[in-house]
Amino acid sequence: MSTMKLLHKPTRHLFFTGKGGVGKTSLSCAAAIALADKGLNVLLVSTDPASNLDEMLGLTLGSEPTPVPGVPRLYAMNIDPESAAEEYRARVLDQMAPDASDEDRATVREQLSGACTTEIAAFDEFVGLLAEDNPRFDHIIFDTAPTGHTPRLLSLPKAWTGFLEANERGASCLGPHSGLKMQEDRFRQALACLGDSARTTIVLVTRADRGAIREAARTAGELCELGLSNQMLAVNGCFTPTDPSDQVAAAFAAEQTKALTDLPATLASLSRDEIALKPFDMVGLAALRALLSDTALTPPADAADDTFENPALPRLATLVGEIAASGKGLVMVMGKGGVGKTTVAAAVAVGLASRGHTVHLTTTDPAAHLSFVVGADALPGLSVDRIDPAAETARYIEKIMATKGRDLDDDGKALLREDLASPCTEEVAVFHAFARVVGEARTSFVVIDTAPTGHTLLLLDATGAYHRQMTRHIAEDAPGRMVTPLMRLQDPAYTRVLLVTLPETTPVSEASALQDDLRRAGIEPYGWVVNKAMAITGTRDPLLRARIRGEKVQIERVKRDCASRVYGLDFRPVAPLGLPALLQLANEGQVKTSGH
């Protein structure tokens, strides 16, 4: 019997969502396997552009349901944004009048070339799975992108339905409105299904730490505002120490207990499952089956294995010193959700400011919590904000109205403003804000905490599309040299990209895949940061020591196969929040060894 109460009487649709790194994919995979093992037909779907279902299940997935070897009746698939976008373009073009000219078709295809189309097309695939009553599957389980993007995904049916009701004319950046109109009924069905507690359960996944719980509470509130109150809470990685005398283990457990005791009211009122921390990585069917079992045992400690010294990695102070030597520039911190990007970005920014530099710390993550990490204290030279999608969209709309709408009559202005009400205007506005921030690094330091991998890649796709558009349209005799945001990102003297990972199989694999994507775009990462290395703590707890054995394998993998510059940060039972903790993190010098 599964330890998750959720699986005793599950609804047809299960959505697993939460902050990056809390274990959404692990739990959604384990839940799908558990239901299939009970004899039910199950489809497991990832809506994350940076899905890692393939690695966890040990097979290559595409955009069609694929049987999972070793689990009869289980099928899995990834929603591929690019293939979905191409199929969406074809459907919209097919809706055009037979006598439409090649020029008209080329214009529509150009309209359908942006990141907005990619998002709505991937969403359309999701809607199809949600709206259709497919008797082939008893349950459809969705492993969603990190929560900053999930409320937007779940709000799209309402947003696009409202847009279509209000806008009967013209064409949007998604092409002719006829192409959207044909989707309207599907959007309405999806919205009804999402809010129906008899058909859908939204599982908010969290760890028992303050940051993840804070994010889960924020998401719960946003979903309730959308009318989606059919939620439950899953707390992953709950730890019980086996040796009370181990100070690291005891502090870790005490911090978890305090976090759960202080649950916000929005979460405390929800039905809750608690899943124990396991001594192994969640990769492969055996591990995923064991995740929801209460019989998985911790391997006995090896008496001969008495050396848990810290891997020989330079600390963050070394990295900050190297960056500071340039005097200015852009630092972009990237990685899988939950690996500690925000903490690393904040520590680097604080470290640079403490060395006398002017630093702008910002984020492109919709689930931004920089202010929570940095705290309210001021540090000379440091400014902290975020790229706020709502504020940037309002600014962008007014700018377009003041330029393109300046010479239009009242009807023309009304049509333009109507078109700008499209939900995907936000994507364009965020890109323009990103480009503006990138340009600031010409004269000072800018540190950007990026969104989790998949959505950072979409932003970089928009950057590349803008670059291609500019280079295609600029006149050959234009004065001066054009410099696009992509060119700045490709310049190692201007930009340093830091990839953050945990010493675990999946985060390392995903960081490696991200590095490959960046290199294809002509962007070479500066270095990797391995965060939360348990080996550095010197703990003797058997479960934590079992995890350390796996950590050391992954750290060696990073050093051997992935990066020439690798920096290390130790695990802390209490997350480093506020300027004093960040200053300590940024200025720690020599690497500790166990026993120190």
Only one residue has tokens 């799908």, namely 32
Catalytic annotation on 26? yes
Which of the following is catalytic: 2, 25, 422, 456?
25
**Is residue 156 very low, low, confident or very high in pLDDT (cuts 50, 70, 90)?**
low
The more confident residue out of 595 and 89 is: 89
* Residues sharing a CB contact under 8 Å with residue 1, sequence separation 6 or more, in sequence order: none
* Residues sharing a CB contact under 8 Å with residue 398, sequence separation 6 or more, in sequence order: none
Structure confidence by residue, pLDDT tens digits, 262-272 = 999 999 999 99
For the chain, the straight-line distance linking the first and the last C-alpha, in angstroms and rounded, comes to 44
Contact 546, 519 (CB under 8 A): no
Structure confidence by residue, pLDDT tens digits, 560-583 = 999 999 998 888 877 788 889 899
Predicted confidence at residue 483, as pLDDT, reads: 72
Nearest-5° Cα angle at 499, 236 to 427: 85
Whole-angstrom distance, CA of residue 25 vs CA of residue 22 = 9
The more confident residue out of 561 and 182 is: 561
Catalytic annotation on 21? yes
Catalytic annotation on 24? yes
Rounded to whole angstroms, what are the CA distances from 496 to 150, 322, 488, 493, 523? 29, 11, 10, 8, 9
CB neighbourhood size of 592 (10 A) = 14
Catalytic annotation on 25? yes
Which of the following is catalytic: 46, 506, 537, 539?
506
Which of the following is catalytic: 21, 148, 381, 527?
21
User: 447 - beta bridge partners?
Assistant: 331, 361
Contact 282, 291 (CB under 8 A): yes
Predicted confidence at residue 500, as pLDDT, reads: 94
Asked if the domains at 10-97+107-291 and 316-388+440-587 fall in one CATH topology, the answer is yes
Structure confidence by residue, pLDDT tens digits, 232-278 = 999 999 998 877 788 888 888 998 999 999 999 999 999 999 999 88
Whole-angstrom distance, CA of residue 426 vs CA of residue 420 = 9
Contact 557, 508 (CB under 8 A): yes
Where along the chain do its domains lie?
A: 10-97+107-291, 316-388+440-587
**pLDDT for residue 169 is more than 60:** no
CATH fold of 10-97+107-291, please?
Rossmann fold (3.40.50)
**pLDDT for residue 593 is more than 90:** no
> What is 316-388+440-587's CATH number, 3.30.70.1450, 3.10.180.10, 3.40.50.2020, 3.40.50.300?
3.40.50.300
CB neighbourhood size of 355 (10 A) = 17
**pLDDT for residue 524 is more than 60:** yes
Which of the following is catalytic: 26, 117, 266, 484?
26
User: 175 - beta bridge partners?
Assistant: 172
Which of the following is catalytic: 23, 237, 338, 538?
23
Helix/strand/coil (H, E, C) string of 224-241?
A: HHCCCCCEEEEEEEECCC
Backbone angles phi, psi at 328, to 5 degrees: -165, 170
Structure confidence by residue, pLDDT tens digits, 52-72 = 788 888 888 887 889 999 999
Give the β-pairing of 74-78 and 66-67.
antiparallel
Which of the following is catalytic: 19, 24, 158, 532?
24
Whole-number average pLDDT of the chain: 80
**CA atoms within a 13 Å half-sphere pointing along the CA-CB vector of 76:** 26
Predicted confidence at residue 116, as pLDDT, reads: 57
Q: What is the mean pLDDT of residues 177-198?
A: 70
Catalytic annotation on 28? no
